Each structure stands twice: as structure tokens, then as C-alpha cells.
């Protein structure tokens, strides 16, 4: 059965390939894409998202959302060191010919979830600002979400700080609103990227070989740029030279097929204050003495590792056969 889905993103390099996977997937019907301030500022995010949609071969409406975190913090840096100033690594993709819809992203999210005949899938690939605003505006949306799959958090480590992952760190208060909700949630943290959640050199070559498709052409250029950026930043190519591990791509793959990940369930709290730990996803591991569930809290499904071949098969089959 084809599942309806809405996606919230802050389009940088990994959001771009993640959107291309979702849009080309025969298992998902992407109804709309909402943009949030994150990797780069909102206007660049919108511009990048439109460019991605135009490479996807499909027509998907794009909506503009929050321009800042719930509590704006101008001392914070965006992620342009990782994604380039424009958010797409400076790759000269043509300017978009389309523009975003007039409706605000938060209103679109509320309206679409409330009007869905069956509980709808929701994927977030950026800071959770739009998602939190939608939930605060209309708490009943939590009852009509089949699964919220988020690229968010870290179990054993963060990336912006020792313990905080970028999407959560960019708006910890918004993340807290979402983690404290009773929505069914799957969290794809950083951890599986170092444990199976990557594409090999051979995988990327196959995608390059299908460059007659505009989505494969865009994905190949992004993977090549990502690989060079890892080198330019002097980062350790954890999974081997020439491999890529875009976090958002894995999150979409897990939303399509949860069997791609090995998961466990835990209560997760969100740290908004600590001296070293603001933006940390705090797992409650006290299962050894707990007999009863925690009141007012749902367990979150957490991906800890990925099945690399299954993951690569999904990406390649979706892009090359579609």
C-alpha cells in the first residue's frame, strides 16, 4: 500500500538526496515538503528544496516555515561549514523556475494531518521548529500520525557538541515539545551512520551510471561533493575513503522500510539546559528495575545500526529502476 507522507527539511546536501529517495519511492506519496531554518537560512533552504524537486521529475508543493528556532540564538553557527554557504556544497545546479506556496508550512502541516483519512507518515530531516509549532497549534495532530520518523539525536555521541546532534541542538526547546508528545516516533540518530548506514564506492558508481535520470545526476554530484568536503574538512572517513553516509538519506530509507535498521525502544528526555549537555537526547536505560511504564511518556524506536546491503539495495532500486 502506498503511504501518504509529508516531509519537513532544512535542505543541505543530505536532505537533498533524502528528498530524492522519498519522492522517487514507489511506496511513498509525498504530498508536500515544508522548509525550516537549519543547515542554512530559510531562503536558501527553500531555494535548494525547489531545485531538488525540479530534479525529481515530480511536482511536489513546497512550503516556507520558521525562520528561527523557538528561542532564537544568534550566537549559534549554522551548518554551512559542512554543506557550503549555499547549503548544496556550491554545486552549480540551475536556479529553480518554481516558487513555494503561499500557505505557511505550519498551517499546511496541521491541515494535512488533520484532514488525512488514514493516519499519515511524517518525516523530519531538520530542526524540529515547524513540527513543534504545528503540535502546539493543534495538539490533536498527534493522534493522526502513523509514524513520525526523525533524523535527530545521538545515542553515544553528538556532532555539534560531544553529546548534541545538529538538528536537536539547533532548537532543543522544539525537540523537547516533540519528544514529550504521545506520537509514535522513530528516531534515526547519528549512531547507525558509523554502523552500516553508508553507501560504498561501488554503490555510488552505479548511481553515476544512471545519470540520464536527473535525480541520479543530482545525487551523484552531491555524493562526489560530500566526499570531497570530508577530505577538505580533514574529517575521518569512518566507513572508508569514497563512501558517503548522509544522515537524512538513512532516515528516509528507514521510514520506507524499518527493517533497514536494527532498533530498540527507550524513553527519551531532551536536555535543554546543561552546561555541557544542552540538546542531548537522554535515554532512560533503567529498564532493569522498572515494572511499569512511565506515565505521560511514550517509548521511542531508536535505530542503532543499519543493514548496509539492504539500505543500498533500496536506494539503488528506487533511483535506477524508477
Q: Would you say 10 or 121 has its CB closer to Ca ion?
A: 10
**3-state SS class at 318:** helix
Neighbours of 246 (CB within 10 A): 26
Q: Would you say 15 or 165 has its CB closer to Ca ion?
A: 15
Q: Per-residue x/- marks for Ca ion, 232-251, CB under 5 A?
A: ----------------x---
> What is the C-alpha radius of gyration for the chain, rounded to an integer number of angstroms?
18
Q: Would you say 56 or 298 has its CB closer to Ca ion?
A: 56
User: Shortest approach of Ca ion to residue 286 CB, angstroms?
Assistant: 31
CA distance 43 to 141: 27
CA distance 4 to 123: 11
- The residue whose grid cell reads 509514524 is 147
254 CA to centre of own chain: 11
Q: Would you say 116 or 187 has its CB closer to Ca ion?
A: 187
Q: Does 125 bind Ca ion (CB under 5 A)?
A: yes
Q: Would you say 37 or 181 has its CB closer to Ca ion?
A: 37
User: Shortest approach of Ca ion to residue 127 CB, angstroms?
Assistant: 8
Do residues 103 and 109 touch, judged by C-beta distance below 8 A? no
- The residue whose grid cell reads 546536501 is 13
Phi and psi at residue 303, to the nearest 5° = -80, 125
Site for Ca ion in 275-294 (CB under 5 A): none
User: Shortest approach of Ca ion to residue 51 CB, angstroms?
Assistant: 15
User: Shortest approach of Ca ion to residue 179 CB, angstroms?
Assistant: 18
CA distance 39 to 41: 7
Interface pick for Ca ion out of 65, 96, 126, 158 (rule CB under 5 A): 126
Q: Could you say which of 10, 78, 121, 191 is catalytic? A: 10
Q: Would you say 37 or 144 has its CB closer to Ca ion?
A: 37
Q: Does 172 bind Ca ion (CB under 5 A)?
A: no
Give the bridge partners for 261, in sequence order: 306
Please give the size of the binding site for Ca ion, defined by CB under 5 A.
Answer: 5
Q: Is the dihedral of CA 50, 52, 54, 60 positive or negative?
A: negative
Q: Would you say 210 or 229 has its CB closer to Ca ion?
A: 229
Do residues 108 and 63 touch, judged by C-beta distance below 8 A? yes
Give the bridge partners for 62, in sequence order: 33
User: Shortest approach of Ca ion to residue 251 CB, angstroms?
Assistant: 9
User: Shortest approach of Ca ion to residue 166 CB, angstroms?
Assistant: 8
**3-state SS class at 269:** strand
User: Shortest approach of Ca ion to residue 267 CB, angstroms?
Assistant: 25
Q: Per-residue x/- marks for Ca ion, 15-54, CB under 5 A?
A: x---------------------------------------
Phi and psi at residue 86, to the nearest 5° = -85, -10
CA distance 162 to 81: 18
Do residues 245 and 299 touch, judged by C-beta distance below 8 A? no
Per CB under 5 A, the segment of 3-11, 57-65, 236-244, 262-270 that binds Ca ion is: 3-11
Catalytic annotation present for 10: yes
Q: Is the dihedral of CA 23, 248, 16, 207 positive or negative?
A: negative
Q: Does 254 bind Ca ion (CB under 5 A)?
A: no
Per CB under 5 A, the segment of 5-13, 179-187, 257-265, 307-315 that binds Ca ion is: 5-13
Residue numbers at the binding site for Ca ion (CB under 5 A): 10, 15, 125-126, 248
Residues with a catalytic annotation lie at 10
Amino acid at each position: 500500500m502506498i503511504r501518504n507522507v509529508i516531509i519537513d527539511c532544512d535542505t543541505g546536501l543530505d536532505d537533498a538526496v533524502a528528498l530524492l529517495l522519498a519522492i522517487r519511492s514507489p511506496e511513498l506519496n509525498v504530498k508536500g515538503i515544508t522548509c525550516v531554518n537549519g543547515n542554512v537560512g530559510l531562503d536558501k533552504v527553500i531555494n535548494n528544496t525547489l531545485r531538488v524537486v525540479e530534479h525529481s521529475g515530480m511536482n511536489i508543493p513546497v512550503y516556507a516555515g520558521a525562520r528561527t528556532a523557538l528561542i532564537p540564538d544568534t550566537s549559534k553557527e549554522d551548518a554551512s561549514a559542512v554543506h557550503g554557504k549555499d547549503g548544496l556544497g556550491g554545486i552549480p545546479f540551475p536556479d529553480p523556475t518554481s516558487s513555494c506556496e503561499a500557505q505557511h508550512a505550519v498551517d499546511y502541516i496541521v491541515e494535512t494531518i488533520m484532514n488525512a483519512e488514514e493516519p499519515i507518515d511524517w518525516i523530519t530531516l531538520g530542526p524540529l521548529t515547524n513540527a513543534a509549532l504545528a503540535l502546539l497549534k493543534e495538539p490533536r495532530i498527534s493522534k493522526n500520525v502513523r509514524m513520525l520518523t526523525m533524523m535527530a539525536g545521538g545515542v553515544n555521541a553528538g556532532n555539534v557538541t560531544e553529546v548534541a546532534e545538529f538538528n536537536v541542538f539547533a532548537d532543543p526547546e522544539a525537540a523537547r515539545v516533540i519528544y514529550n508528545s504521545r506520537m509514535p516516533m522513530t528516531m534515526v540518530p547519528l549512531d547507525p551512520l558509523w554502523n552500516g548506514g553508508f553507501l560504498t564506492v561501488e554503490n555510488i558508481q552505479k548511481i553515476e551510471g544512471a545519470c540520464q535520470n536527473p535525480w541520479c545526476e543530482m545525487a551523484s554530484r552531491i555524493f562526489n561533493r560530500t566526499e570531497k568536503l570530508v577530505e577538505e574538512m580533514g574529517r575521518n572517513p569512518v566507513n572508508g575513503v569514497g563512501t558517503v553516509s548522509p544522515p537524512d538519506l538513512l532516515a528516509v530509507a528507514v521510514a520506507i522500510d524499518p527493517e533497514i535498521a536494527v532498533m530498540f525502544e527507550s524513553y527519551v528526555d531532551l536536555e535543554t539546559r546543561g552546561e555541557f549537555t544542552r540538546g542531548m537526547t537522554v535515554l532512560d536505560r533503567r529498564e532493569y528495575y522498572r515494572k511499569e511504564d512511565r506515565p505521560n511518556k511514550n517509548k521511542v524506536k531508536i535505530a542503532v545500526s543499519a543493514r548496509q546491503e539492504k539500505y543500498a539495495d533500496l536506494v539503488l532500486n528506487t533511483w535506477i529502476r524508477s
